[in-house]
Amino acid sequence: MTDPVDTRIFADGADLESIVALRSDPLISGFTTNPTLMRSAGLTDYEHFARSLLEAVDQHPVSLEVCADEPEEIRRQAARLAGWGSNVFVKVPITTTTGESLTPVVKDLASEGVKVNVTAIFTTAQVEQSVIALDNGLSSFVSVFAGRIADAGVDPVPIVAQSVRLANSCNGPEVIWASPREVLNLVQAQSVGCHVITMTVDLLKKVPLLGKDLGDFSRETVEMFYRDAQAAGLRI
């Protein structure tokens, strides 16, 4: 078992107002986003959003993802994104949409000084490939999609634990517990020594519940049900 650590929290989202509100929050150590979050936020101008984000956040690491599937275009976009700020980590998927490994691209980018966040990782084999590609001392991340692994009915904790061991065995990447579903995931991440966990704004609102007395929590839940029944005018 890996020694527990104080897992850092990266806020995950694409709402600039929320990001600005969180940039001075001592709980937050970085920011991540992706094209799906951008689409959900109604964004269409990637560069404008990214540059505005980086203008607002210049101290914390910011992960920005490429929007390409061909290796050469990924390289071009990665170089461009990296040029927008010294705190940018370029998110490169572990594979193309056809399953072709992108670790050669990751290795090339890292050797060129691009800080990489390998994303959409689901297996320890993918972690091992990424760790080897990033073993050059440059700050980097590997994002294990633990929440989606759990969605498949698989316990992500052993996978993240092994990922941490693989990452700690070399000189470079840190492991991110990505796509968490509940605050319990933060506790689980800490228990296996995971370096970072991403959290959406909605999930961050639940972090203060950590350690809450369950008896009090039960009573407050009953109060909520009663209050809402009265407010709705429900009768039986």
- pLDDT (tens digit per residue) in 53-64: 999 999 999 999
Closest CA to 88 of 106, 107, 115, 68: 115
Closest CA to 13 of 1, 3, 24, 21: 21
**Any domain includes 222:** no
**Any domain includes 229:** no
The per-residue pLDDT for 114 is 98
Helix (H) or strand (E) holding 91: strand 88-93
Determine the Cα–Cα distance for residues 157 and 44; give it in Å rounded to an integer: 36
**Strand blocks (E) in 112-229:** 116-121, 140-144, 173-177, 196-199
CA distance to 55, 77, 106, 154, 174, per residue, from 141 (Å): 22, 18, 11, 23, 5
**Any domain includes 3:** no
CATH number of domain containing 110 = 3.20.20.70
**Any domain includes 221:** no
The per-residue pLDDT for 5 is 57
The per-residue pLDDT for 4 is 52
Determine the Cα–Cα distance for residues 174 and 140; give it in Å rounded to an integer: 6
Quote the number of domains for the chain: 1
**Any domain includes 26:** yes
Residue written as tokens 């994303």? 119
The per-residue pLDDT for 234 is 97
Residue 49: domain span: 8-209
The per-residue pLDDT for 170 is 87
pLDDT digits (tens, 9 = 90+) for 18-59: 999 999 999 999 999 999 999 999 999 999 999 999 999 999
**Any domain includes 215:** no
The per-residue pLDDT for 32 is 98
**Any domain includes 108:** yes
**Any domain includes 231:** no
The per-residue pLDDT for 1 is 43
Q: Quick check: 234 and 44 in contact, CB under 8 A?
A: no
Q: Which residues of the chain are modeled with pLDDT < 70? A: 1-5
Q: Quick check: 61 and 69 in contact, CB under 8 A?
A: no
Closest CA to 88 of 119, 105, 59, 63: 63
Residues forming the active site? 91
